[in-house]
Amino acid sequence: MHSITLRPATWEDADFLYHLHRASLKEYVEQTYGKWDEEWQRQHFRQHFHPDACQVIVSEGQDVGVVCQVEREEDVFLSILKVLPEYQGRGIGTSIIQSVLREAHRKGMPVALQVLKVNPARRLYERLGFVTTGETETHYQMRATPVPTPNTHTQRGQDP
């Protein structure tokens, strides 16, 4: 697998990230909603893009994706994970999700996300420990809960 790094997203990344949005989701948006309205999508993207919550995924010096997450009181919400189609299937998304899970679970927090019902990424999420906790007409809500680790003191027969 190629080396993967993350860098903070900025407003200068907006054009790349919109291209990424279109390339990675257009097919699923059309399957779900029946059409892709370019003007509406561009406007919606600009209104909802918050670079401070996002990191650009870089592989071998190329911007290939984005991950956005928000730490909420009850969980870490993985709001966006997109990888350019030509870079999918190389373990990039898996690596990013595993990193998010490790960090959240280290804090004892679950990770939550939602995915369009037609998006095959759901299988990846399930493989990485996410379970469906709810659904809307268009999306599944999913959650990965940290696995409790035994207390090392009690393992040795000592009082905690």
Q: What is the pTM of this model?
A: 0.86
| Per-residue pLDDT at 155 | 42
CATH number of the structural domain 4-151? 3.40.630.30
| Pair 97, 78: CB distance under 8 Å | yes
Taking only the tens place, the pLDDT of each residue in 108-122 is: 999 999 999 999 999
pLDDT value, residue 147 = 74
Q: Quote the pLDDT of residue 146.
A: 84
* Residue the block writes with tokens 């919109």: 18
Low-confidence stretches of the chain (pLDDT < 70) are 1-2, 148-160
What is the residue extent of each domain of the chain? 4-151
What pLDDT digit, counting tens, does each position of 127-140 carry? 999 999 999 999 99
